[in-house]
Amino acid sequence: MTKWIAVMLFLASAAFAQQTHNQYEPPSGAGAGQKLLAQFVGDWDVVKTFFPANGKPIVSKATCKQYMIQDGKFLQSDFTFSNPDGSQSTGTGISGFDPKTNRFTTVWYDSRQTTMSIRQSDGTFDGKNIILWATALDPDRPGRKTVARAHLEEDGRVLLHRHFLIDDKGNERMMIELRMTRK
């Protein structure tokens, strides 16, 4: 009898905890941003162009598979890059949109380094263009100021990502372009 009471109390406390969590942090549904992210789903051929401060652009190829995860709330992008020296590297991006704040947030990590980068939009979204600003995780080391822009072209056949470095005067210089063509 004591075991039965203990089990019932445990189940009741678990149910109460779930109700409390849902009240504290109500589940949210997909919004306009998820509709755009869903258009990015698929397999892509990628041409990556890196624009050094001095010298000629460096072009390499990659592939990318993008798919929605967590019940259609986030886009996962898995890249495999063929580097100019013949080696390969991989990278993963997770992109989400919060309909309450109208903000996109992306996290990127790759096999080249042990750091992660995070970018977030400013809350303006026109339904077509994603504009993301570098977000410092360490306020004592804000890092470089960058902006990334992504949009579809050619009726959704081409996805264009461009990353810009912003200098102290506010001038932008393109650092990386990913031109993704749907397979």
For residue 95, being part of any structural domain is answered with yes
CATH number at residue 61: 2.40.128.20
For residue 8, being part of any structural domain is answered with no
For residue 145, being part of any structural domain is answered with yes
For residue 168, being part of any structural domain is answered with yes
Rounded Cα gap, residues 60 and 87, in angstroms = 11
For residue 6, being part of any structural domain is answered with no
User: How far does CA 159 lie from the centroid of its chain?
Assistant: 14
Note the pTM of the prediction, 2 decimals: 0.82
Rounded Cα gap, residues 160 and 74, in angstroms = 19
For residue 22, being part of any structural domain is answered with no
For residue 165, being part of any structural domain is answered with yes
Q: Is 20 exposed, middle or buried (0-12, 13-18, 19+ CB in 10 A)?
A: exposed
From first to last of the 183 residues of the chain, give the pLDDT tens digit.
666 666 555 555 655 556 667 777 777 777 899 999 999 999 999 999 999 999 999 999 999 999 999 999 999 999 999 987 889 999 999 999 999 999 999 999 999 988 889 999 998 899 999 999 988 777 777 667 889 999 999 999 999 999 999 988 989 999 999 999 999
Range of the domain at 41: 30-182
For residue 10, being part of any structural domain is answered with no
Backbone angles phi, psi at 115, to 5 degrees: -105, 165
How many domains would you assign to the chain? Answer: 1
- Measured at the CA of 88, the angle between CA 48 and CA 144, to 5 degrees, comes to 50
